[in-house]
C-alpha cells in the first residue's frame, strides 16, 4: 500500500512539475530567445507532445493517488474502494477531495489550451500564457495536499506559502530540464542558427534556475523547520535522514548547474561549441535524473510521519549543550560556521568554473573552520546516547509519579536510598558510590539520558532494567525521580522570582466545583498559584486570597488550594479555591511541601509548571495579594522550556 502511494505520488509530482516546467520554458525562455527561428517550430511540436504526455500521467497518477488515500482513510483495500464508494466519499466530503475537484477542472481547461496550441503549431500567444497559469495552479494546489495544509494560524500560512513557492520553483527548474534537453537536441541538428539559439536559451534558463535555487533554498529551510525542526529530528529519524539525502541530491544538482553556467555556457562563443553543447545536454539529463531522485524522496517523505513526531535515535556519542557555551565561544562558533558555508560555496563555484587557486584556498578555509571552530565547542560537548532525545512515552503526571514511586522502592532504593541520596543499605558494598538523585545536576541530563541508564545500566555497577521493567515503567520511575528532585530544588527556593526553570510540578487532575480540571489546562492560560497545606486548611489565608480574587484575575493568576494530607479533604467545608483530588495526587504534591514549612507552602508556577517563586508560612511569611499580582506579571513573561510533544493525551 505504502509502496503504491509512494510511486504514485512521485509520478504525480513529476508530471505536474513537468507541465508547469514546459509552460514556463515556452513562455519565459524559448519564445523570447527563439522568436521565429527554424528551431522554434520543431521545438514547439516536441514541447506540446511532452505536455500531453505529462498531462496524461498527471491524470492517471492523480486518480491513483485519490484511490490510495481513500483506501488509507477508510482502512479498505485498494481494490475495494471503488466498489464501496469510499473514493466518492473522499472526493465529495473531504478536504483533499475538494482540492481534487478543483484540480480536475484545471486539467480539463489545460487540455483545451494544449489542443489549441497544437493546432496553431507555434509558441506563446495568450493561450500559452493561460496554459502556463493553469499548470502553475495545478502544481501549486498540491501544497494543500501536503503537511502544510494541516497547520493553522500564522504558522499554517507561512508553511503553506513556503510549500507553494517550493513547488513552483521546483517546477520551473526541474520541469524545465527536459525541455532544455529537447532544445539542445534540436539545436544540434540545426547547426547554423541552432548554436545561437542554444546559447541564448541556456543563458535565459540559467537566470531562471538561479532564481529558482534561491527560492528553493529559502522555502526549503522554512519547511525543514516545520517538519524536522531540530537537530535530533534531522539526524536521528528516517524522515530527517531522507531530507538530508534530498539536500545532498539538491547540492549535486546545484554543482552541475554551476558547471553549466560557469564553464560550459561561455564556450558557446568559442571553437569547441559543439562539444560544450553535447556536454550541456548530457548534464541536463543527469540533472533530470537527480531531480527524479529528489521527487521519489518527496514521495516517500509524504507517507512518513514528520521527524518531529517520531523518536529520534541520536547517532553520536556526544551532543552539544548550547547553554553551556560561553558567549565568546558561541560567537566564535557562529563565525566559523558561517565561514564554513562561505568556503563551501566558493569551493563549489571554483570547482565548477575550473579555477584552481580559489579551489585550493577554499579547501584550506574549510579545514581551518573545522579545526578551529571545533575547539570552542569542546567544553560544551557532553556524553550522549541513542535515547538522549527520546520524549517520555508516558506523560509527566501524578499517576506516572505514583507508579514510579512503587517501582523505585522495589528496584532502586536498595542502592540509591529511599530518599535518593545514593546511600541505600546496599551502597556501602559497592566499588562506586551510587548517584545522588536529588541534586540539581540531575537536570543536566535529558530524560532520555536517564532512560538509557535505567535500561542499559551505568558503568559496571548499575544493572540495566531493559528486560525487567516495561518502557512505560522505566519512564514512570524517571518521572518519579525527576519530580522528587524538583521538590528538593523547589524547597531551596524563596520569595524572589527565579529566572531559572528548575523544578517542574507534574500534571495532575482535580475537581473544582463539580468540574474536572487539570493543572496543564489551568497553566495553558498562564501562571498559577498552588497553595499546599497539611492537616489544617488555612481558612484565613484562603479568605484573604478570595477577597483579592478580582485583583488576581486581572493579573492572570488563578489559585488552586490543595490539602496534601488526604484526610483533611473531608473536613474542609468549601472555602474559596480548595479543590478535591485523589490520594495519588496528594502523595505526589507532598513532594513539594515539607511539614516544617508551617501552615502552608505557596508555589507560583510558570506556564510550563516550573516553580518560580516559593513562600512558606514559617520562613519569611506569605505574599500580599499586591506582591502576588506583581510577581504573576513577571512570571507570565517566562516561556520556560517547551513541554515534550509526548507530554499529553493518549
Partner 1 sequence: MTRHLAIAMAFAASLFTAAPAHAHAFLDHANPAVGSTVPAAPADIALWFTEHIEPAFSTATVTNAAGERVDRGDAHVAADNPAELQLGLKPLPPGTYTVHWHVVSVDTHTTEGTFSFDVGR
Residue ranges binding partner 1 (CB under 8 A): 69, 72-75, 89-90, 93-96, 145-152, 155, 159, 225-227, 229-233, 305-306, 308-309, 319-320, 322-323, 325, 327, 330-331, 334, 397, 399, 509, 511, 514, 516, 518, 520-521, 582, 641-642, 645, 648-650
Q: How far is CA 384 from the centre of its chain?
A: 21
Rank residues 302 and 464 by Cβ distance to partner 1 and give the closer one.
Answer: 302
Residue 78 burial (10 A CB sphere; 0-12, 13-18, 19+): middle
Q: How far is CA 278 from the centre of its chain?
A: 42
Q: How far is 561 from 510, CA to CA, in rounded Å?
A: 11
C-alpha cell at 242: 531522507
Closest distance of CB 633 from partner 1, Å: 21
Rank residues 256 and 405 by Cβ distance to partner 1 and give the closer one.
Answer: 405
Closest distance of CB 110 from partner 1, Å: 24
Closest distance of CB 309 from partner 1, Å: 6
C-alpha cell at 605: 508556577
Distances (CA, A) of 92 to 87, 89, 111, 259: 9, 5, 23, 49
Crossing angle of helices 273-301 and 153-189, rounded to 10°: 150
Give the SS3 label for residue 318: strand
Rank residues 146 and 299 by Cβ distance to partner 1 and give the closer one.
Answer: 146
Rank residues 323 and 573 by Cβ distance to partner 1 and give the closer one.
Answer: 323
> How many CB atoms neighbour CB 178 within 10 A?
24
Q: What is the DSSP string of 414-463?
A: HHH-TTSSS--TTGGGSSSPPPPTTSGGGGGS-HHHHHHHHHH-BTTTBP
Rank residues 74 and 196 by Cβ distance to partner 1 and give the closer one.
Answer: 74
For residues 339-362, one letter each, b for 16 or more C-beta atoms within 10 angstroms of the residue's C-beta and e for the rest, the string is bbeebeebbbbbbbeebeeebeeb
Rank residues 436 and 512 by Cβ distance to partner 1 and give the closer one.
Answer: 512
C-alpha cell at 534: 497539611
Rank residues 94 and 549 by Cβ distance to partner 1 and give the closer one.
Answer: 94
- Candidates 321, 434, 296; CA nearest to 377 is 321
Rank residues 36 and 514 by Cβ distance to partner 1 and give the closer one.
Answer: 514
Residue 77 burial (10 A CB sphere; 0-12, 13-18, 19+): exposed
Task: Provide the β-strand partners of residue 143.
Answer: none
Closest distance of CB 416 from partner 1, Å: 28
Closest distance of CB 90 from partner 1, Å: 8
Closest distance of CB 380 from partner 1, Å: 10
Rank residues 436 and 582 by Cβ distance to partner 1 and give the closer one.
Answer: 582
Closest distance of CB 478 from partner 1, Å: 18
Closest distance of CB 483 from partner 1, Å: 17
Rank residues 100 and 465 by Cβ distance to partner 1 and give the closer one.
Answer: 100
Give the SS3 label for residue 502: coil
Amino acid at each position: 500500500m505504502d509502496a503504491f502511494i509512494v510511486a504514485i505520488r512521485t509520478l504525480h509530482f513529476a508530471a505536474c512539475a513537468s507541465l508547469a516546467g514546459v509552460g514556463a520554458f515556452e513562455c519565459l525562455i524559448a519564445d523570447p530567445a527563439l522568436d521565429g527561428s527554424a528551431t522554434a517550430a520543431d521545438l514547439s511540436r516536441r514541447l506540446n507532445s511532452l505536455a500531453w504526455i505529462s498531462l496524461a500521467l498527471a491524470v492517471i497518477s492523480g486518480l491513483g493517488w485519490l484511490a490510495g488515500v481513500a483506501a488509507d482513510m477508510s482502512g479498505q483495500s485498494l481494490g475495494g474502494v471503488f466498489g464501496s464508494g469510499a473514493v466518492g466519499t473522499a472526493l465529495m466530503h473531504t478536504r483533499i477531495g475538494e482540492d481534487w475537484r478543483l484540480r480536475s477542472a484545471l486539467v480539463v481547461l489545460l487540455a483545451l489550451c494544449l489542443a489549441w496550441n497544437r493546432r496553431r503549431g507555434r509558441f506563446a500567444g495568450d493561450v500559452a500564457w493561460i496554459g502556463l497559469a493553469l499548470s502553475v495552479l495545478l502544481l501549486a494546489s498540491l501544497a494543500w495536499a501536503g503537511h502544510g495544509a494541516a497547520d493553522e494560524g500564522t504558522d499554517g500560512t507561512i508553511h503553506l506559502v513556503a510549500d507553494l513557492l517550493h513547488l513552483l520553483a521546483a517546477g520551473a527548474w526541474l520541469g524545465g530540464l527536459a525541455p532544455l534537453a529537447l532544445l539542445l537536441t534540436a539545436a544540434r541538428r540545426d547547426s547554423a542558427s541552432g548554436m545561437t539559439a542554444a546559447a541564448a536559451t541556456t543563458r535565459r534558463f540559467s537566470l531562471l534556475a538561479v532564481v529558482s535555487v534561491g527560492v528553493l533554498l529559502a522555502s526549503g529551510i522554512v519547511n525543514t523547520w516545520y517538519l524536522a525542526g531540530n537537530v535530533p529530528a534531522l539526524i536521528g529519524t528516517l524522515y530527517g535522514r531522507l531530507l538530508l539525502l534530498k539536500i545532498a541530491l539538491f547540492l549535486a544538482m546545484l554543482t552541475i548547474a554551476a558547471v553549466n553556467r560557469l564553464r560550459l555556457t561561455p564556450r558557446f562563443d568559442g571553437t569547441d561549441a559543439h562539444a560544450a553543447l553535447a556536454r550541456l545536454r548530457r548534464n541536463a539529463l543527469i540533472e533530470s535524473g537527480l531531480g527524479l531522485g529528489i521527487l521519489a524522496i518527496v514521495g516517500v517523505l509524504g507517507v512518513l510521519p514528520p521527524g518531529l513526531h517520531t523518536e529520534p535515535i541520536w547517532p553520536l556519542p556526544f551532543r552539544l549543550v548550547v547553554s553551556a557555551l560561553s558567549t565568546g565561544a558561541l560567537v566564535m562558533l557562529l563565525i566559523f560556521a558561517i565561514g564554513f558555508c562561505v568556503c563551501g560555496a566558493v569551493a563549489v563555484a571554483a570547482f565548477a568554473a575550473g579555477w584552481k587557486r580559489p579551489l585550493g584556498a577554499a579547501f584550506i578555509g574549510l579545514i581551518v573552520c573545522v579545526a578551529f571552530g571545533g575547539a570552542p565547542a569542546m567544553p560544551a560537548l557532553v556524553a550522549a546516547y541513542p535515547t538522549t532525545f527520546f520524549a517520555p512515552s508516558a506523560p509527566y503526571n501524578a499517576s506516572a509519579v505514583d507508579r514510579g514511586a512503587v517501582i523505585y522502592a522495589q528496584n532502586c532504593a536498595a542502592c540509591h536510598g529511599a530518599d535518593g541520596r545514593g546511600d541505600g543499605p546496599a551502597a556501602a558494598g559497592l566499588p562506586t558510590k551510587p548517584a545522588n538523585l536529588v541534586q540539581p545536576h540531575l537536570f543536566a541530563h535529558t530524560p532520555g539520558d536517564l532512560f538509557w541508564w535505567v535500561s542499559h545500566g551505568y558503568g559496571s555497577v548499575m544493572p540495566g532494567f531493559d528486560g525487567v521493567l516495561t518502557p512505560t515503567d522505566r519512564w514512570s520511575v524517571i518521572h518519579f525521580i525527576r519530580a522528587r528532585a524538583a521538590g528538593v530544588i523547589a524547597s531551596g527556593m524563596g520569595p524572589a522570582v527565579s529566572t531559572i526553570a528548575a523544578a517542574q510540578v507534574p500534571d495532575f487532575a482535580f475537581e473544582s466545583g463539580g468540574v474536572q480540571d487539570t493543572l496543564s489546562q489551568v497553566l495553558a492560560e498562564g501562571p498559577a498559584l498552588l497553595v499546599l497545606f497539611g492537616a489544617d486548611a488555612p481558612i484565613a489565608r484562603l479568605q484573604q486570597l478570595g477577597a483579592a480574587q478580582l485583583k488576581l484575575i486581572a493579573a492572570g493568576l488563578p489559585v488552586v488550594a490543595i490539602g496534601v494530607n488526604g484526610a483533611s479533604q473531608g473536613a474542609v467545608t468549601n472555602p474559596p479555591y480548595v479543590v478535591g483530588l485523589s490520594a495519588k495526587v496528594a502523595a505526589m504534591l507532598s513532594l513539594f511541601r515539607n511539614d516544617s514549612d508551617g501552615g502552608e507552602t505557596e508555589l507560583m508556577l510558570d506556564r510550563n509548571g516550573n516553580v518560580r517563586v516559593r513562600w512558606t508560612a514559617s520562613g519569611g511569611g506569605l505574599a500580599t495579594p499586591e506582591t502576588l499580582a506583581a510577581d504573576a506579571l513577571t512570571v507570565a513573561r517566562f516561556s520556560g522550556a517547551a513541554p515534550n510533544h509526548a507530554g499529553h493525551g493518549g
